[in-house]
Structure 1
Amino acid sequence: MENLYYKPSGKAPALAFIGSLVLGTVGAIVLAIVYIALQWFIPIIYFNVFITLGFGAGIFYVLNFCFKQWKLRNKGIAILITLLIAILGFYAQWALFVSLMYNAEGTMGGDTWVKSSFNLEGFKAFFLHPSFIWEAMQGLNEVGTFTLKKSPVSGGMLWAVWAIEMGIILITPIIMAFRGITIYPFSEKDEAWMNKRILPGRLKFVADKDAVVSSLGNHDFAYVYDHLSDEEEHFSFATAELYESETDDHQYLTIYNHQFTEKKGKMEEKKDEVIEFLRINRNSL
């Protein structure tokens, strides 16, 4: 059976490309400001890990909004834009950080955290001159930018921390972009993203994916209508959701397996996507 699953058209409107770069740039700079502000006022290295993850995730959400708004259906282009904006965000936060450190007062080695104030001209000077940032990074690395157990972290350990930070900021949005809006069903006929509809009832746990796909692919939808009894407790079952639009010739079905297991006296749910965007004819369900 050909065309069994949804496949994006790969279309990348010029407005989606340009608009995402422009709005993504603005968003990345705003997020960089928030990121540095949080790090500056909450100088706890363990907490900063979550802040860094949030920075990377924030870049993804800004761009995912852009991709959805301007109807980008090309995952490769989405990942490329995400990488470019993530690099820009990483660069912007360094430009801001070194400009603040340039005007800082205080000590890194004792109980006093450095004090500084934002200077737009200083930020612009560093932002427009990468060599200034690199020189500042080398100088900061010698003295340290934060303390651990009241001792400044510098040298090789600080380079390692910065490398991990860079990895988190760049990799987090890219990983998320692989499962972003661009993989979801889009109706080329209606020129709109399809609406998601949750199908009612709990279905039998999918033990044989190929058999279920074969039946559904042959327009046999008995499985979807064969609901489990609501009067019984089920620890293994499946649920389904459907993507559809007003006039498109096809719908797309996704099925999840759910399993409940007991761990340390508590029930934990494991949810797995077993069938994703299976193509069926319009009004099949």
Structure 2
Amino acid sequence: MMYVVSVVLKIVLVIVPLLIAIAYMTLAERKVMAAMQRRKGPNVVGVFGLLQPLADGLKLFVKETVLPSSANIMIFLLAPIITFLLALVSWCVIPIGEGLVYSDINLGVLYILAISSLGVYGIITSGWASNSKYAFLGALRSAAQMVSYEVSIGLILINVLLCVGSLNLSEIVLAQQSTWFILPLFPIFLMFYISILAETNRAPFDLPEAEAELVAGYNVEYSAMGFALFFLGEYANMILMCSLATIFFLGGWLPIYSWTIFYWIPSTIWFGLKTTLLLFGFIWVRSSFPRYRYDQLMRLGWKILLPLSLGWVFLIAGTMISFNWLP
């Protein structure tokens, strides 16, 4: 009984802060974009608009769920649940501090790649089950985009794994105690950041949700909690990808060792600050860049990022073998 209670408590300690972070990520996005466009943003519900995410969540919770008459109802209802659950399941191997991880498995990187590849199914099934041309076209676009950029992400991560010699996410962080990987692998970090923007369907790669062309993409027929679950899944994946970038390139929970004045800051705060900085970059890019055409998106993935990431694999592997630096 005590074991079951401890497992449930661990799950709650992972999911509840994540849901709060997702809620206030939406508020931060609206506030930052408003500031960049010289607007006020949400400022009515609560002090400085701090209760706006709770009001939005309550509104979506109490709205009526509209089911299209021509939809496959069972799959239609199952698709957003799959998307949201897969976004949560990935977090069980993310170390937010030394020893602060739900399951510290040795194949953490493979687990993340496997779960992220399953995320395509929620989107494909939602577009197909909606029985709508707009939703189906958005789902096909999203599936092709996610599969294309997962290849680049996998090859980029091989470069980090060659430097560490382990698939364990905690060991990848500890390998950066002397130097964060963003310094020697800065071009790879830029490629990874561009790839996760496309992987999470964020601007300027938000082709599956192009409002001017597809109304709202694969979730056009969804309302109330179905739409909310897609929304929560998208933002959970954003935070997950920025956390992975923090782990692979920014030293995870490790502090900036040269600045001894910051030694007293807890490791989880360091992890949160680095992830927040990368999330701010997501918002900044959305505010600044126009949307790509779909052929430009595919060209970037297959003809630029894929050859570059493969070339870096050969370069780093060859360098480490030549100088006998293999871990």
TM-score by length of 2: 0.24
| Richer in strand (by share) | 1
| Structure with the greater alpha carbon radius of gyration | 1
| Richer in helix (by share) | 2
TM-score by length of 1: 0.27
